[in-house]
């Protein structure tokens, strides 16, 4: 038997899923996910003291939970590697811990005297754990 090519595939060349372009796109996707974690962490940290008309608006908590899980799922989708998908969560956690420490000049971004920075650390770490579970543990089909 001879194989017939579909007329729709006439203009397309066959691609290999493991080719060099695939590797470059996976690396670029992983870097985008890690950079997204850096930007999201800094945005969340500087939104901690947000107030509207004197009322605390903890939008950073929502951004931390949704952002961490979304970035980890995105990293898993674009890289296909479960352990590389953990990088955005680890980057988020490392930067958040660094921002909660006091500098030599006495400056602190995440001041621990209020409930919002503490909730950010707790909910953000919990969302990293949930995201890790979603990407590392294989799903039953």
pLDDT digits (tens, 9 = 90+) for 52-70: 998 999 999 999 999 999 9
Contacts of 41 (CB under 8 A, 6+ apart): 91, 92, 95, 96, 99
**What global pTM score does this model have?**
0.81
Say what the pLDDT of residue 18 is. Answer: 72
H or E stretch at 62: helix 59-79
pLDDT-derived band at 13, boundaries 50, 70, 90:
very low
C-alpha–C-alpha distance, residues 128 and 92, integer Å: 8
134/7: higher pLDDT = 134
Mean pLDDT of the chain: 87
Average pLDDT for 77-98: 94
Say what the pLDDT of residue 113 is. Answer: 77
């Amino acid at each position: 038997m001879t194989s017939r090519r579909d007329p729709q595939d006439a203009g397309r060349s066959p691609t290999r899923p493991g080719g060099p372009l695939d590797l470059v796109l996976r690396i670029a996707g992983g870097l985008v996910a890690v950079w997204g974690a850096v930007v999201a962490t800094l945005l969340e940290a500087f939104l901690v003291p947000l107030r509207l008309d004197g009322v605390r608006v903890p939008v950073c908590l929502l951004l931390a939970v949704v952002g961490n899980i979304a970035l980890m799922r995105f990293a898993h989708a674009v890289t296909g590697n479960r352990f590389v998908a953990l990088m955005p969560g680890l980057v988020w956690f490392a930067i958040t811990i660094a921002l909660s420490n006091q500098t030599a000049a006495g400056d602190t971004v995440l001041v621990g005297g209020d409930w919002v920075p503490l909730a950010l650390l707790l909910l953000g770490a919990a969302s990293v754990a949930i995201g890790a579970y979603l990407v590392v543990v294989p799903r039953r089909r």
